[in-house]
Each structure stands twice: as structure tokens, then as C-alpha cells.
Amino acid sequence: MFLIRVLPLVAAALFLAPNPARAWHDVGHMVTAQIAYDELSDDARDEVDRLIGLLSDLSERDHAVTAAVWADDLKRQGLEAFNTWHYINLPFAAEGTAAPPSRQENVVWAIDQAATTLRGDAGDLAKALMLRLLIHFVGDVHQPLHCVSRVTAEQPEGDRGGNDFPLAGEEHDLHAFWDSGAGALPSWDGGAWRPMVRRLASELTRSMPKSALPGWSDPDPEAWARESLDLAITAAYDGIAEGAEPTPEYTARAREIVRRRLVLGGYRLGALLNDVFAARPAPTETDAAD
């Protein structure tokens, strides 16, 4: 029923969509998707390409790498059905303040829902939709400020992952600063994406191979979110005050964390898609007889 209700809205939003502004966070999502795409087996890549192609008439995002931006395209066009799927408000009680509960329909839930759909007997349209969302949400869950809400006496409902943590300088708030990769990612003007994204993905995987990231094979999205929460507490909120401008030291540390999270997200997304689309063994004679 959910898909019956939402798919016409998706189609309308994309048919009516102008060419949306592309910013730095688009590049971050595409780099993670490129790393994942390079990790795919032949069987998984064939199925990913097939499913991405099913919705290509509704969007210019006609490749798994550019489809990583698709979920944000929907938000920019006013489709709010998936808004809470981009984050999880794990509470950080900065002053020992009682913390509000997190919403059930969050990014961890959404990743599980998408993977379950792709593994199951749903139709191709449902799988095509969920694949595009999954690629984006695995990127989101690796951004520390998508997995936290800082609770204080002044903000008992939380700061919405740093959205209500103002900064001085070019960035308006802490969430935007981290979404930008702390300035570590180039902007994209809508031109050819492959050379830039492939170069960045290659540079990151060369500097951080799997052997340097022992946690890359952890398959649990809840654990990924907990990692992001820990980084939000120990790095994102540490060493900066509301209304301040990020120091060079803070920025350098944030950029290194961003790079690591992009790579981890790519390796983990690739492993998840390989598992979801693992080649099924040919039926045996016994199976055929059954």
C-alpha cells in the first residue's frame, strides 16, 4: 500500500523537477556509491544496472553513482514521505538532561527495509525504488551528524543533528559544516561527473584499503549508526562552541573523519549489495522434481 501511495508522488516530483542545484554533499554521496560500485561482483553489478535503469526515464540519475543523489532530489522537490529516513536522532545528553526517544522510521530502519525488499519477492518497481534509496541512506548513516541529537536544558528536544547549533563564518550551522565534508569535497557544477568522482574514489581507497579499516566488514546498520554517534560526541561536538568559527585544527580533524566515513560507507554498501544480489545457485534435479 505504501508504494501504491507514494510512487505517483515520486513520478510527479521528478517529471516536474527542474535541473536541481548540485552541491558538495552530492559529491560525497557519489564517491561512496562509486566505491561501492567498484566493489560489486559481475552478478550484482548487472542487477544494480538493470534496476537503476528502470526509473531512468523519470530522472537524469541514470547510473548507480548519480542515483546516490536521488533521495535528496525528492526532498528538494517537496516529497516528504522519506524525510525521516535520512537520519536517526540518537540522543546525546550533553548536560545529563533527559533525552527524547528516536523516531521508529529512521535511517537504520530504512536501510533494513530496503535490503529486505531487495532480497524478497517484491516487484521490480519496488526494488528499483528501494535500491536508489538504499544507496543514499548508507551514505547518510555514515555522516556523524545524521545519527545524533544533542540535548541540553536550552534544547530539551535536541538540536536536530547540529542543525540548531549555529556557527560563524561561511557555514550556518554544525550540520551543514559536516555535510559539506568540512570543505574536503569539491563542488559539482552538473557537468561530467565520472572523472572527478572516480579520481576521488580511487584516491580514498588507495589511502584507506580494507586492510586499514578492520571494521569495514561489519554488516549491521545499527552498529554503523552507533559509530557515527560516537564520532559526533567525541569529534563533531568536541572542540567547538555555538556561534564560533571552526578552527584549522578542528577542520583538519573533521576532514580526516569525513574521508574515512566515505570509504567505510562505500565498502559496506558494496558488501551489502553483493550479499543482496548474490547469484542464486541453479536448481538441482531434486529441486526440479519438486
pLDDT of residue 77: 84
- For 108, residues 6+ apart whose C-beta sits below 8 A from its C-beta are 88, 141, 221, 222, 224, 225
In a domain, 15, yes or no: no
- The DSSP letter of residue 235 is I
Assess contact for 35 and 204: CB atoms under 8 A: yes
- Beta-carbon count within 10 A of 288 CB: 8
Note down pLDDT in tens along the chain; length 290 residues.
444 444 444 444 433 333 333 333 799 999 999 999 999 999 999 999 999 999 987 777 889 999 999 999 888 888 888 999 999 999 888 777 666 666 689 999 999 999 999 999 999 999 999 999 999 999 999 999 999 999 998 998 899 999 999 999 766 899 999 999 998 888 777 678 889 999 999 999 999 999 999 999 999 999 999 999 999 999 999 999 999 999 999 999 999 999 999 999 999 999 999 999 996 554 455 444 44
pLDDT of residue 99: 67
In a domain, 288, yes or no: no
The number of domains in the chain is 1
In a domain, 7, yes or no: no
Tell me which residue range forms the domain holding 88: 22-277
pLDDT of residue 280: 57
- The DSSP letter of residue 168 is S
Residue indicated by cell numbers 513520478: 11
Rounded Cα–Cα distance for residues 49 and 271 (Å)? 16
Answer whether 0.75 is exceeded by the pTM. Answer: yes
In a domain, 220, yes or no: yes
The H or E element spanning position 150 is strand 149-151
In a domain, 6, yes or no: no
pLDDT of residue 17: 37
Sign of the torsion angle spanned by Cα atoms 76, 78, 82, 86: positive
**CATH number of the domain bearing residue 167:** 1.10.575.10
